[in-house]
Structure 1
Amino acid sequence: MSPGASPYARALGTRRADLHLTLREYFDTLPPGHVGIGEGVFDRVGTSRRWLQPLLRPLHRRGVLFAGWEQDVPFRITNRLVAGRLLGERVLMSTQGRWTMRDAVVLNRHGRPVDEIGDPVVVAAEFDLDVATGALRLRSRAVGMRLGVLRLRLPRFLAPVVRLVESFDEEAGAQRVRVTIDLPVIGRIYEYGGTFRYRIEEDT
């Protein structure tokens, strides 16, 4: 597959054929000069543990995690493919105001997707991926943080486990996404999930 293809498409290889058709189009390569736009609603986003919310504020300010707990939050996704990197921007219209998360997905030398999150990059997670019943499932195998020029890979006993499931909801006629982050011992510290509809159009 072309080095300019989407990192997800390259990581999946022949497994692309097992994805639901809508997801195949979503994770496939964007044509030159085009952008992918998704609009929908998150059923919930953030952390319900109030004591955690102040601790997440630094990551909130850097566009990594939403430091709150809200339901029925409208959002918009914008995807661009630049030199084989999938650049994403997620804008949430929360009661706190407009909040933006930016990330870049690249393929590492092992053929696994790595999601670099934040502006500038603060967190990076390497994923194993699989396809089951037409859905894409990702589970983090390594998580690291960037502190200035320092890069720190978190040891397994401290590292959060990030899971992502992208599926198509036939009943709703929309794409469904669910992301969870769990810490050893503590458990669930962050999540978001909801449905959206996606289209590809010229990048103006």
Structure 2
Amino acid sequence: MSGDPQQPVPAERLSPYETVWRGIPDTLHSRLRDYCGAIPPGHHGYGHGVFQRVGTPRRWLWPFLWLFGRPDVVFPGWHQNVPFTVINRPACSPSGAAAVAASRTFRFTSGDRTMVDAITAESAPIGLVDYLGAHRRVRASLEASVVDGSMHLDSTVVALRIGRRWLTLPQVLSPHVTLVERFDDVVGLQRVAMTLTAPLIGTVYEYAGSFSYGLREGDGSA
């Protein structure tokens, strides 16, 4: 695959995407290549924008989403035009691999809620793995691809942590996550769309919006 760095980069400085792709593909939009690249030491990624929609209009699902919302994974309700911020910080997985810890704060009219996750690259077999929630009790293996300059992430395996063990959900019960990141040259903003579907039910949760993004100095805690 083209797009490999010309100079070798120490493994600890590679982003999870660079690790899996063995470099950032040339076919990825230039602004997304920056987004998927490693965050330099002493910096964090900061974005702000608006989600046009968040949640699900299917009210009967809200109680179930509330159970998952408590560990900061998804939130019940059907919300529109929600301002949000995202902060990406460099981190390490338990195995020492490079990771990106993200916090997305949704400015709901009822108050702020924050979704947290950490995405890393596992080595056996190599691939992206997203640990969801404040306590990392949900794990999704992801397949990454580039389509028309945009990045597509599709979940392949979902597991739940029970005590110290991970329980892999069978495909007939497992939810499926699809996320698309693309850059809109017309408006100069990055666009993101995520859908969570479940067997026999269909779409149970989604969000879609646009935002500006760049690197800033510091750890983003201020």
Same fold (TM over 0.5): yes
Cα-Cα RMSD: 1.2
Structure 2 partner of 1:46: 55
Following TM superposition, by how much is the alpha carbon of 1:120 offset from its aligned partner in structure 2, in angstroms?
0.7
Structure 2 partner of 1:158: 173
> Which runs of 5 or more structure 1 residues have no equivalent in the other structure?
none
1:90-149 per-residue CA deviation (whole Å, 9 max, x = no partner) reads 000012210011111111122211000001112110011110111001111101112333
Distance 1:57 1:147 in 2: 19
Matched, 1:82 2:96: no
Tell me the secondary structure at the aligned position of residue 134 of structure 2.
coil
Q: Is the 8 A contact 1:15 1:131 kept in 2?
A: no
Counterpart mapping for 1:55-74 below 5 A:
55-74=64-83
Structure 2 partner of 1:3: 11
Runs ≥4 residues deviating over 3 A? none
Distance 1:146 1:101 in 2: 18
Normalised to the residue count of structure 1, the TM-score between the two structures is: 0.96
Following TM superposition, by how much is the alpha carbon of 1:12 offset from its aligned partner in structure 2, in angstroms?
2.0
Aligned match of 2:153 in 135, 138, 146? Answer: 138
Tell me the secondary structure at the aligned position of residue 108 of structure 1.
strand
Distance 2:129 2:122 in 1: 7
Structure 1 partner of 2:141: 126
Normalised to the residue count of structure 2, the TM-score between the two structures is: 0.88
Give, as a single letter, the amino acid of the residue that structure 2 aligns with 1:155.
Answer: P
Tell me the secondary structure at the aligned position of residue 11 of structure 1.
helix
Structure 2 partner of 1:92: 106
Structure 2 partner of 1:115: 130
Aligned match of 2:117 in 103, 128, 145? Answer: 103
Matched, 1:167 2:182: yes
Tell me the secondary structure at the aligned position of residue 17 of structure 1.
coil
Q: Is the 8 A contact 2:17 2:23 kept in 1?
A: no
Q: Is the 8 A contact 2:52 2:207 kept in 1?
A: yes
Please say which of residues 140-149 and 152-161 is displaced more in the overlay: 140-149
Give, as a single letter, the amino acid of the residue that structure 1 aligns with 2:71.
Answer: R
> Which runs of 5 or more structure 2 residues have no equivalent in the other structure?
1-8, 93-97
Give, as a single letter, the amino acid of the residue that structure 1 aligns with 2:11.
Answer: P
How many equivalent residue pairs?
Answer: 204
Matched, 1:21 2:36: no
Distance 1:52 1:148 in 2: 26
